[in-house]
A and B are shown apart, each in its own frame.
Chain A
């Protein structure tokens, strides 16, 4: 059986499973549509949250970004897990006690203001839509390779599948579908990593293999890696090169953003009790950590394998891989297949029949190149987003592993897209239409408008996904910055300070959202349209602070503006202070109420 058929079987089989579960669990009432009747166990909920959370950014993109940068991209690992501490300690139990369906309902009630609710809905839609664009980038890369279709076709197929189960399943369908997706994605991520770790270090646990010894050289794996990459003029893998301030702000933005993203917070409305909300966050992080402990090993080992493939005879002195070898040797088949997607490229610039891969920006290497007659780096293009998907092919693993990784990558991208679309659709139908425009709307009409909102959101995200502002994980990092600057501070102040009133909260959210959005648009183009940017992340407007790191500053602006404005305007009424008091204690938490 050829690789294409195997991929098709794995991807098709896993889709059939998800859609089957969605149909089996079709939602009936509105309460079931949003929050699955609150009958979800913390462990199940944790697993579904993990699937919801780990998207194309975590699965497809992150290890590639770590592989080519090393230590400096540790921010992704710390940021996307550290946010769960904030979520568990500062938000989850209180929002569950509050007992409503959506994040914006909490903000609307706590800040006793229809305006606050609508501003929260807008913040939520902006952050979620940016996030879905990142997912669509991942979907395009995965389909492009595995179904051997172009990026556009891949995106359209993916959009149809997400639409099918998110629209017809609702939250309950999504919860159980996502448990299935978690199992598929964690298996798909772990199996190739175990194979590769065994090949390189003899240790079956990749997270331990990363700090183990390289079997071939007897040296510690990371020492060996530092040695081979510096020999080619790249900066060492384990050392700290990036600007420290930017790294701290970037990590912080990802953490705060994690705790401000509505589709993750919504998960904590679906557990039966306040105490379960606390455990749920822990379980979610357990299932997330299984991937995140493996990811740095995947990155480091892939970097070592790739370098070894390009210099198969023992480093620079042994000579580079030849053009014939790439064309004829089956170990190099992955290069030919990925070249067709346009995401991998090489060119024999000096015509010596070999492909020299090195850092041509490095002065020492330029001297070496001069001496040896090289005309620049000949591995001209290596898209970071292909690394995880190409990894089993690079390590020469069996065909079924490659098919499994395809299914896992798509599970990651599609499950998160579905969760986000649900958050967007409930924001529009429940908060905007029922909450603000037409409170008398029937349950049936509300459900219909939720589904229409979902379809519109998919269409927009697919359209913007064709021209993404960066690699999947970078686009997603922008979404986190927006959530960090707008939603998280409002929620936190709503619980921990009775001083913040309606005007303060609205001013804070607007200030945080606008300042962050403008900073991002200045660097990434207005509305992400390429070429309309005035600055680049290589040379940002404010010192070393890149657009992906600005969320932490936006959050600080939000807090500061809210405190100043609240100090100048009318005090929070007593009834609201009582509401805050009651949210702080678990006793009396009932089922969610609809209004």
Chain B
């Protein structure tokens, strides 16, 4: 029973990390890259605006950061909850 509740805490912690990561994922691509681009048009980057940079390069760099953060965070979470691979 106790193992089960620990697993639940582990799973809900995992879900929180996933939700936050996916919000950032959507914000940089669909947000800054497409829908919010007009709001960022005041910030110029090399002959165009910040939204263009996010659509063509910035979002990719943020995606990389999200994946490596998730791998690092989850591998730590596994150990905290004692569910890592021996």
Contact = CB atoms under 8 A, between A and B. Distances in A.
User: Do A and B form a real pair?
Assistant: yes
A251 B59 CA distance: 12
A4 interface: no
Given A89-B21, A273-B85, A248 B47 contact: no
Contacts of B47: 211, 219-224, 226, 238
A240 B36 CA distance: 12
A595 interface: no
A210 B46 contact: yes
The dominant DSSP class at the A interface is helix
A584 B11 contact: yes
Interface residues of A, number: 51
Given A82-B29, A221-B47, 4 more contacts: A78-B29, A248-B34, A282-B64, A587-B82
**Most interface-central of B45, B46, B63 (chain A CB within 10 A):** B63
The dominant DSSP class at the B interface is helix
B75 A275 contact: yes
Contacts of B61: 289, 293
Nearest to B75: A275
B41 to A, nearest CB: 10
Contact of B63 (A81, A220, A224, A247): A81
Interface in A540-572: none
Contacts of A224: 47
A587 B85 contact: yes
Contacts of B30: 248, 251-252
Given A77-B60, A81-B59, A586-B84, A240 B37 contact: yes
B84 A211 contact: no
Interface of A: 71, 74, 77-78, 81-82, 84-85, 88-90, 93, 207, 210-212, 219-224, 226, 238, 240, 244, 247-248, 251-252, 255, 273-275, 278-279, 281-282, 285-286, 289, 292-293, 296, 581, 584-589
A252 B11 CA distance: 26
B83 A211 contact: no
Given A219-B47, A221-B47, A251-B34, A275 B57 contact: no
B57 A296 contact: yes
* Range of interface residues on B (Cβ < 8 Å): 35 or more
Nearest to A236: B48
Contacts of A74: 33-34, 52, 55-56
Contact of A586 (B21, B48, B83): B83
4 nearest A-B residue pairs (beta carbon): A220-B47, A211-B46, A222-B47, A74-B55
B69 to A, nearest CB: 9
Given A85-B25, A89-B70, A275-B75, A78 B33 contact: yes
Interface in B6-30: 7, 10-11, 14, 18, 21-22, 25, 29-30
B6 to A, nearest CB: 10
Contact of B56 (A84, A240, A296, A581): A296
Given A78-B29, A84-B67, A275-B85, A211 B59 contact: no
A244 B67 contact: no
Nearest to A584: B11
Contact of B74 (A77, A278, A286, A587): A278
Nearest to B74: A278
Contact of A585 (B7, B49, B64): B7
Contact of A581 (B7, B57, B63): B7
A296 B21 CA distance: 26
A585 B49 CA distance: 43
Contact of A84 (B22, B46, B63): B63
A285 B86 CA distance: 27
B37 to A, nearest CB: 6
B25 A82 contact: yes
A281 B83 contact: no
Nearest to B44: A220
A285 B46 contact: no
A536 B45 CA distance: 37
Contacts of B56: 71, 74, 77, 210, 296
Contacts of A274: 85
B67 A238 contact: no
